[in-house]
A = this chain, B = another copy of it.
Amino acid sequence: MATVLRRAARLEFSGVLSLFSASCRHGRPYALSHVAFNDRHLSTSSKVKVDLDNSNGIAVMKFDNPPVNSMSLDFLTEFSINLEKLELDKSCRGVILTSAQPRIFSAGLDIMDMYGTSPEHCGAFWKAVQDMWLKLYGYSKITIAAINGASPAGGCLMALCCDYRIMADDPRYSIGLNETQLGIVAPFWFKDTLLNTVGHRTTELSLQMGIMYHAHEALKIGLVDQLVPEGKVLSTAVETLGTWLAVPGHAREISKSMMRKPTVDKLLANKEADIKNFVSFITKDSIQKSLGMYLAALKKKKA
């Protein structure tokens, strides 16, 4: 524990790199303007690759948003649409989330959607984050996270929404809701998702400090369920999903809903207020300034 705390406090930028993400688009890394955002809408390339195996009903969704699978507005929208399609598709029985990028599951929410953008854009972005969570945490089908890389902030949230988490047993990879380290606060439904997984005390410590847990620490506190060698993360996920599929599906689905519905309903009842709250927080001068400093540091490090 003491080691975890000490590490949490070292703001070395190799660590900070994975705190939040800033998408690198069109060879212009970290362009701090609306251009980056506008560009994205022109993109027609897919950021989420879906591969549904009709022989077993298992769909694999691979995040493919280089370099670090930033959860941009585009990415989130595409992700949620795909997730909804698979839920309606009767040939799909379960979904595995994994990354097509090396060493990173997802670096979390894209700062470029929050930095220097209009309140309207921030609001639309936040709604997309909410919709992704509502869909994934309340998903009727089985979901397994095949965590084949680092998984900070929003990346960790996505993994937490799944029914089971398998992580690459590699000391370089860590996972956690580390928003606090960037001066941002994880909203109540991020908190609830973590709390439902690791309990009250670990959540309190984790959120206050913004702790990133190494794979073996994550296993110890129950943040992930299983560690396997990186090369076996996906195959183990497929095998595990097969095991889950042997359980009577209707009863499993109702049981899942019974556990998660109260948490989902809390956000549903507060969606608008939560968006307002986020927009008012993120557009504050002090927060924008700290995001800007963070981006500058990131840029300098890359250069």
A residues with CB within 8 A of B: 1-2, 5-6, 8-11, 163-164, 179-186, 188, 191, 195-201, 203-205, 207-210, 222, 225-226, 236, 240, 243-244, 246-248, 250-252, 254-256, 258-260, 290
Contact of A247 among B196, B210, B256, B259 (CB under 8 A): B210
Q: Considering the chains assembled together, what is the distance between the CA atoms of A210 and B243 in angstroms?
A: 12
Return A167 CB to nearest CB of chain B, in Å. Answer: 12
The distance from the CB of A201 to the nearest CB of chain B, in whole angstroms, is: 5
Q: List 28 A-B contacts (CB under 8 A).
A: A5-B164, A5-B244, A6-B243, A9-B246, A9-B247, A10-B246, A163-B204, A180-B248, A180-B252, A180-B255, A181-B247, A182-B248, A182-B251, A183-B251, A185-B254, A191-B255, A191-B259, A196-B204, A197-B201, A199-B199, A199-B201, A201-B222, A203-B259, A205-B225, A208-B247, A209-B247, A210-B252, A248-B290
Determine the distance from Cα of A256 to Cα of B183 in the docked complex, in whole angstroms. 13
In the complex, the answer to whether B248 meets A181 with C-beta atoms within 8 Å is: yes
Q: Which residues of chain B have C-beta atoms less than 8 A from A226's C-beta?
A: 1-2
Q: Are B200 and A251 in contact (CB under 8 A)?
A: no
Q: Which residue of chain B is the closest to A191 with respect to CB atoms?
A: B258
Q: Indicate how many identical chains form the complex.
A: 3
* Closest beta carbon of chain B to A10's beta carbon, Å: 8
Of chain B, the residue at the smallest CB distance from A179 is B251
Quick check: A259 and B183 within 8 Å, CB to CB? no
User: Which of the residues B9, B197, B200, B250 comes within 8 Å of A259, measured between beta carbons?
Assistant: B200
User: Nearest Cβ in chain B — how far from A193, in angstroms?
Assistant: 11
**CB contact under 8 A between A204 and B11, given known A183-B250, A184-B251, A248-B183:** no
Q: How far is the CA of A1 from the CA of B188 in the complex (A)?
A: 29
- A255 and B197 form a contact (CB under 8 A): no
- Please give 12 more A-B residue pairs, beta carbons under 8 A apart, in addition to A2-B236, A5-B243, A207-B255: A1-B225, A5-B240, A180-B248, A182-B248, A185-B258, A199-B201, A205-B225, A208-B247, A208-B255, A208-B256, A209-B252, A248-B290
